[in-house]
Amino acid sequence: MPDKAEIDFKGIVAGFRFDGEFIDAIPYGFGHINDTYAASFRKNDGTQHRYILQRINTNIFKNPEQLMSNIEKVTNHLKQKLISRGSDYRRQTLNLVYTVTGKSFLRTGDNKYWRAYEFIEGARTYQIVENEEHLYNAGNAFGRFQNLLEDFKADSLYEVIPDFHNTRKRFQAFSEAVKADAFGRAVKVKTEIEFANKRAEETGKIVELLQNGKLPVRVTHNDTKFNNVMIDDETGEGICVVDLDTVMPGSALYDFGDAIRSGTNPADEDERDLSKVCMDLRLFEKYTNGYLDATREVLTDTEVELLPLSAKLMTLECGIRFLTDYLSGDVYFKIHREEHNLDRCRTQFKMVEDMENKWDKMHSIVNLYR
């Protein structure tokens, strides 16, 4: 995150419709992509309140205006649906603060893009799952997100990262990296290459069903990690889904599958001791229960039937991406040690294998809550 002294916060906040006198802005949260600050203001009655102020990382998001168009459309839809249901929209969705010219973002003279949200007090995100109910609440929050957007026209959104979860294309890129073997690493990972190749036919399943119209195209979050749900401090409920940068058209299966991939492994993503790595069935059940409690009225039978497959495919896809990057010289994912991407790949493949061993139980759990 850049030095605060380098940023003209007074000039930036003057461009937004904030309420009160600006006090300061301090770094906030654990995000690795955008620069995030909690900006404090003092109202006329002397009370203080906060806003979230973010500088968008345009190295990652090349079209920030399209990104903000997506977020504006989705949050406005969520707000209206929550109001119609008598729910507290100020706590259950992100609420943009507009600029003085009525835009959802501020573009500064140095070509930086800033946005602001109302601060949701009395809730926070967690970096790790501290108890099983956390997974139920996260599943319920992401399921409610899907439920509220069920009638939203997904094709009105920009595809900010094309083919983000096109598992078939991810596999094609992997095959090309194996063939090129630019760094002579293929000989070291024959087992991992064989593991991926054995599952090649499965990689196109969700994509093909989408293309054939057998799965509905929905609004998808595409980054359904547990730490993208705000948990209420008093009730423990998952109240608001955050980090909407990758919201775009896709399949609900992408979101469910990636949540299982990231939330049910009790070990670290780069754990070298693979005996610690698994897909915890109890955590799978908690998330599935919470998710279906919010979505069973909107998901199709085909979507529900494919929930276990989505978990396997999103995990396989992630492992393939790590392996592709390892073969290509570690050019995409940041590494902190030699063979870091290979370690990450192996944890994902171990989870895939564990899911296959628990396949019937996963289906039984889905059928229990469907």
Task: Report the C-alpha gap between 319 and 287 in whole angstroms.
Answer: 22
Q: Which fold has domain 132-369?
A: Aminoglycoside 3'-phosphotransferase; Chain: A, domain 2 (3.90.1200)
Tokens 């380098």 belong to residue: 6
Task: Report the C-alpha gap between 82 and 89 in whole angstroms.
Answer: 6
Torsion of the alpha carbons at 184, 190, 195 and 196, rounded to the nearest 10? 20
Q: What share of the chain is helix, strand, coil (3-state, %, to 5)?
A: 50, 15, 40
Tens place of pLDDT per residue across the chain (370 aa): 555 557 899 999 999 999 999 999 999 987 768 999 999 999 989 899 999 999 999 988 999 999 999 999 999 999 999 999 999 999 999 999 999 999 999 999 899 999 999 999 999 998 777 788 889 999 999 999 999 999 999 999 999 988 899 999 999 999 999 999 999 999 999 999 999 999 999 999 999 999 999 999 999 999 998 889 999 999 989 999 999 999 999 999 999 999 999 999 999 899 999 999 999 999 999 999 999 999 999 999 999 999 999 999 999 999 999 999 999 999 888 889 999 999 999 999 999 999 999 999 999 999 999 9
The CATH classification number of 4-121 equals 3.30.200
Residue 266, phi then psi, degrees to nearest 5: -70, -10
Taking alpha carbons only, the member of 60, 48, 237, 218 closest to residue 135 is 237
Contacts of residue 41, defined as CB under 8 A and 6 or more positions apart, other chains included, come to 18, 19, 20, 21, 22, 23, 48, 49, 50, 51
Describe the strand order of the beta sheet including 48-55 as a list of residue ranges: 21-27, 35-42, 48-55, 113-118, 106-107
Strand 48-55 relative to strand 106-107: parallel, antiparallel, unpaired? unpaired
DSSP state of 99: B
Considering the entire predicted model, what is its pTM?
Answer: 0.91
Residue-range domain boundaries for the chain: 4-121, 132-369
